[in-house]
Amino acid sequence: MISQFNPRKFLLTILCLIFIIGHISAQIKEQGIIPQPFKVQKNNTVFSFVATTYISVDKGINPSNLIFFNGYFKSLSGRNLPVGKYAKSSIIQLSIDSVGVPQPEGYILSVTSKQISIVGHDQAGVFYGLQSLIQLLHKANGKITVQGGVIEDHPRFAYRGMHLDVSRHFFKVDAIEKWIDLLALYKINTFHWHLTDDQGWRIEIKKYPLLQSISAWRDETIIGHKKDSPHRFDGKRYGGYYTQAEVKAIVKYATERHINIIPEIEMPGHALAALAAYPQLGCTGGPYKTATFWGIFDDVYCAGNEETFTFLQNVLDEVLPLFPSKYIHIGGDECPKTKWKTCPKCQQRMRDEHLKDEHELQSYFIGRMEKYLNSKGRQIIGWDEILEGGLAPGATVMSWTGEEGGIVAAKQHHDAIMTPEKYVYLDYYQSLYPSEPLAGGGYTPLSKIYNYEPTTTALNADEAKYIKGVQANAWSEYMASPAQAEHQLFPRMLALAEIAWTDKGNKDYAGFLKRLRYEQPLLKQLNINAANTFDEITDGVSQSPDHREQLALSSTLPGAHIYYTTDGTAPTLKSKKYNQPIIITQSGLVKAAVFSEAKLYGRVYEKDFHLHKAVGKTIILTNPPQGAYNSGDVSELVNGVFGNKLYNDGQWYGFNGIDFEAVVDLGSAQQVSQLGVNILKYHWQKMWEPQVLTFETSADGKTYTEVYRQTSFPANGINQVRATVKPVRARYIRVKATNKGIIPPGEYIAGAKAWLLVDEIIVE
Ligand code: ACM
Ligand code: ZN
């Protein structure tokens, strides 16, 4: 049957088509690249892949540059792109021109309706042009298209690193290969492979077979977080290692993707797994066992025993042929000196070498291994503790405890890589929502990583040249599977990629988020278990001008509105709409949720307020808080918000080896009948309860009367001290808590200074 021409239907169809085409091209235009390229000019042409599209490759271009692109294209389209020469077809042209594209690893990608051209400065440039092209491929209605335009691009830093710990959890070869593909896609060019640690030795060393049969295995693994007490274990033997053949294959796989693998063979600390097999290499001779929980262990390689150096040199003799990397990482972090202090061999070494303390012994250890590696034509990289007792002459410093190590190294004209834990540790939590999967601790949301700037103002232009790049670290204590690891690492790894590659002037968090949202289909296509919670609510608690607590909420989700309740019920579109910071007038739970186009986005946000007489009042501390437990605003000790048990919400104030003393001024004399404070106790995190806690009251701020004293804090976790006192009129409240001091023998990290963690001083 031939249907009648229907002008109305025709018009509707045309309108629909215009809408669909308009929609497609709008989407195409919105598509972007992560990391953001140096320069992007779009135009209105569109390249369409057709059955005869082929890739033309100039002489000299390695076919391996195409491996990942071709694989991805096939997964998207179901067909291969032929490589070769076919007349009268649409074409992707790859070439190298080191003059036309002057920057190493740079490329120019030009897209017209007729062809796509990628000109690289070098092989890596061609490869990176293809990675950008992958992100521009747009599939709709069975057709694959690319928006026309010209992209000129090159990296900001020569060193763009991602680390992965395979000791705490072991990732099999296929997971490592997938990982390498993803690094390459986002133009990360260095894979720092943390192969040995206390909980498992993961690389085959033929001369030492017990490394395979003993050190690669642990009897069982801790369940839950290390801070829990007592520790619980799963009772399951766990382990594995990469054979040398597998390592070779992985290195080849990475090299084809322009990734250098830097192996880390950790010394002198984090050596328990090796000592379990070869106890004569430890100061006490053992016996030792591969660690079954996370942390720092006192048993390290003996620095006085010649056999230690013979062992490590023999190990390196097998490692070096597997890794062409100029750099070899020798660890150097977190090496307790406890055993060295009482070891006759270590002490003899110190006398023989005229070393004044154990820090100089560590420096001797690293310096000696550096000489060995230099004699084999390699350079060392170490964590910033290799600065202790003096830096080995050609060492590169990986600055993790903060930026200070990198700054000191750069000022001494040593190369440095910035990887400060506060900003780029991906084992930290990415969200403060309580339902977040278990992580190491800390809090590095996507925005914090993104806004990290690796060249600090502490360096002049000449010194800044020694900062070779930036790296994010993936410690795997709480990443037991590739899926869990992907949830922790994505999308934060993409933020790292952008800090490492993108010119400082082109960085823009809002633009990054926009591109990240368009990246979601690609992440899905690549089967990555990425977290997608980055648009959820974040908050800020501050004081209003009239000294009341106020809660600011925000979400980066475009077009979203926040609704909230203060009566404990779940927010709906009928709840109060958030327009400006909420003034907190009563204790209780604030719940809030993001809605976009009338749909709930993500999880429901909650914050509990506990209003009391000290909230918003003046507080003065005798000793300043320290390190990560100092958010800079001591008024948080009297803001009605209690610090959480993950101690990552900025509410806890920490004192390392020193006492806490605070005076709260209520502004006028008031009736006081209850006093309180929260104390955090996690001995497995070096957080100790005070020896003595006292509350005192005063009318004049000069003469104080003690009204309460407590010396026992039984709970592992938050100890809520709540003291009912004889009612008294007082204007000033003084709280004193004496630090435990040095962690006692037999406890975790004995001999170190204890942390005292305090939050919210409560007055009723
Ligand atoms: C480190 O995070 N211990 C280098
Ligand atoms: Zn020793």
Per-residue HEC secondary structure of 468-526 comes to EEEEEECCCCCCCCHHHHHHHHCCHHHHHHHHHHCCHHHCCHHHHHHHHHHHHHHHHHC
What's this model's pTM, rounded to 2 decimal places? Answer: 0.94
For the CA of 400, the closest atom of ligand 1 is: 4
Distance (angstroms) between ligand 2 centre and the Cα of 364 equals 13
In a domain, 530, yes or no: no
Q: Which of 168, 264, 387, 400 to mutate to test the pocket of ligand 1 (most atoms within 8 A of CB)?
A: 400
Tell me if 198 CB under 6 Å of ligand 1.
Answer: no
473 CA closest ligand 1 atom index? 2
Question: Does 696 lie in the same domain as 558?
Answer: no
pLDDT digits (tens, 9 = 90+) for 706-764: 999 999 999 999 999 999 999 999 999 999 999 999 999 999 999 999 999 999 999 99
Is 546 inside any structural domain?
yes
pLDDT average, residue stretch 389-405:
93
Q: Are 329 and 434 in the same domain? A: yes
Q: Ligand 2 being an ion, which residues bring their Cβ within 5 A of it? A: 283, 302, 304, 343, 345-346
Strands (E), 99-219: 107-111, 115-120, 138-140, 143-153, 159-165, 190-194, 196-197, 200-201, 217-218
* Per annotation, catalytic residue among 105, 122, 153, 197: 197
Q: How confident is the model at residue 96 (pLDDT cuts 50, 70, 90)?
A: very high
Split at pLDDT 50, 70, 90, the class of 90 is confident
In a domain, 69, yes or no: yes
Respond yes or no on whether the N-terminal peptide bond of residue 690 is cis (omega within 30° of 0). no
Tokens 């808080």 belong to residue: 625
Quote the ligand 2 centre to 306 CA distance (angstroms).
Answer: 10
Ligand 2 centroid distance, CA of 367 (Å):
17
The preferred substitution site among 168, 381, 421, 478 for testing ligand 1, maximizing ligand atoms within 8 Å of CB, is 421
Residue that is last in its domain, among 138, 153, 168: 153
* Average pLDDT of span 203-225: 98
| Number of domains making up the chain | 4
* Ligand closest to the CA atom of residue 345: 2
**Do 586 and 638 belong together in one domain?**
no
Q: Which of the 8 DSSP states describes residue 83?
A: B
Identify the domain boundary among 153, 180, 204: 153
**Is 383 a pocket residue for ligand 1 (Cβ < 6 Å)?**
yes
The reported pLDDT for the residue numbered 31 is 74
Determine the pLDDT at residue 23.
Answer: 44
Within a domain: 3: no
Residues 602 and 566 in one domain: yes
Are 440 and 334 in the same domain?
yes
Residue 7 above 90 pLDDT? no
**575 domain-assigned:** yes
Residues listed for the chain = 764
Residue range 383-389: mean pLDDT, rounded: 92
Residue 1 pLDDT more than 50?
Answer: no
Average pLDDT over residues 279-296: 98
Is 385 among the domain residues? yes
* Percent of the chain clearing pLDDT 70 (strictly above): 96
Does residue 759 line the site of ligand 1, with CB under 6 A? no
What is the tens place of the pLDDT at every residue in 668-706? 999 999 999 999 999 999 999 999 999 999 999 999 999
Q: Give yes or no for residue 30 having a pLDDT over 80.
A: no
Q: What is the pLDDT of residue 388?
A: 87
pLDDT digits (tens, 9 = 90+) for 45-82: 999 999 889 999 998 999 999 999 999 999 999 998 99
Domain with 642 in it: 618-763
Say how many C-beta atoms besides its own lie within 10 A of residue 217's C-beta. Answer: 19
Please say if 487 is a catalytic residue: no
Residue 258 has pLDDT above 80, yes or no: yes
Ligand nearest to the CA of 308: 2
Domain boundary among 153, 185, 206: 153
- 173 assigned to some structural domain: yes
Which residues are registered as beta bridge partners of 282? 301
Q: Are residues 582 and 658 in the same domain?
A: no
Tokens of 322: 């597997």
Specify the CATH number for the domain of residue 599: 2.60.40.10
Ligand 1 contact, 400 CB (< 6 A): yes
Residues 412, 352 share a domain = yes
Residue 452 Cβ contacting ligand 1 at under 6 Å: no
Average pLDDT value for the chain:
94
* CA 266 to ligand 1 center in whole angstroms: 11
Residue 88's pLDDT band (boundaries 50, 70, 90)?
Answer: low
Residues 511 and 548 in one domain: no
Q: For position 81, which CATH number holds?
A: 3.30.379.10
State whether 601 and 668 are in the same domain: no
pLDDT number for residue 257: 98
82 and 139 together in one domain: yes
Instruction: Give the separation between CA 254 and CA 181, rounded to whole angstroms.
Output: 8
Residue 436 inside a domain? The answer is: yes
CATH number at residue 384: 3.20.20.80
115 and 179 co-located in one domain: no
3-state SS, residue 292: coil
Catalytic, out of 198, 298, 334, 486 = 334
Shared domain check, 190 and 333: yes
